[in-house]
Amino acid sequence: MYKITLLFVALFILSSCSTSLSKKEVEKYTIQGKEIAQATAKKLGGTLVEKMKDGGVKEAVPFCNTKAIPLTEEMAKKFNVSIKRTSHLLRNENNKANDKEALVINNYRDLLTKGKGLKPVVELDNDGNPHFYAPIILQKKCLACHGEVGINVTKKSDSIIESYYPKDLATGFKEGDLRGIWSITFKSAVE
């Protein structure tokens, strides 16, 4: 009897903590994650372009400084998820990567140096919530604020950036470099 009880306890523990997502779920969260990342990038980018047109880096950097995180939060609420943009080379320390995000970033950097394509990653996090990660690749339009100082980022722009972010590490990127990652948590735990 004792052995049987033990067996049931073991089975119960095994079945109650599901540690992986089905293929279908992975597909679903990959599609949703991509949509959310794209919509957020569009929201941030669209407003940024307007500010750049209005007054260049001088206007756009203070805008990013006060609005990048609140705008991201706004999109997170809309989609009922949490959204983070993080990087190995940070501008804003509030965007610091956790251990898992740092691993994902390192893996993407490794793949990129080997000339391999980068794909989104979907898996369950420690709380049992589905989590979406995807690379953020540096584009031409990002160079004015994240490119090489003295080449893409003017000395003047750099000093504006430094005045808001004295510990800035997010310059020196080239087109096609890994700028960072999207890290999106879906709140609905898997049944």
Residue 149 beta carbon to ligand HEC: minimum distance, rounded to whole angstroms: 13
Verify binding: residue 152, ligand HEC, rule CB under 6 A: no
**Residue 66-85 contact track with ligand HEC, rule CB under 6 A, x = bound:** --xx---------------x
Verify binding: residue 146, ligand HEC, rule CB under 6 A: yes
Verify binding: residue 40, ligand HEC, rule CB under 6 A: no
Among the listed residues 92, 152, 171, 183, the single contact to ligand HEC using CB under 6 A: 92
In 3D, which of 38, 32, 71, 39 has the Cα closest to residue 185? Answer: 32
Among the listed residues 97, 170, 178, 184, the single contact to ligand HEC using CB under 6 A: 170
Residue 151 beta carbon to ligand HEC: minimum distance, rounded to whole angstroms: 15
Q: Which stretch binds ligand HEC (CB under 6 A): 9-17, 27-35, 57-65, 122-130?
A: 57-65
Q: What is the DSSP letter of 106?
A: H
Task: Please say whether the beta carbons of 36 and 83 come within 8 A.
Answer: yes
**CB count in 10 Å sphere of residue 26:** 17
Residue 53 beta carbon to ligand HEC: minimum distance, rounded to whole angstroms: 11
Fill in the amino acid letter for 39: A
Residue 4, SS3 per DSSP = helix
Question: What are the structure tokens assigned to 124, written together?
Answer: 């369950």
String of b and e for 116-149 (b: at least 16 CB within 10 Å)?
eebebbbebeeeeebbbbbbbbbeeebbbbbbee
* Binding positions for ligand HEC, rule: CB under 6 A: 45, 48, 52, 57, 60-61, 64-65, 68-69, 85-87, 90-92, 95, 136, 138-139, 141-142, 144-146, 170, 179-180
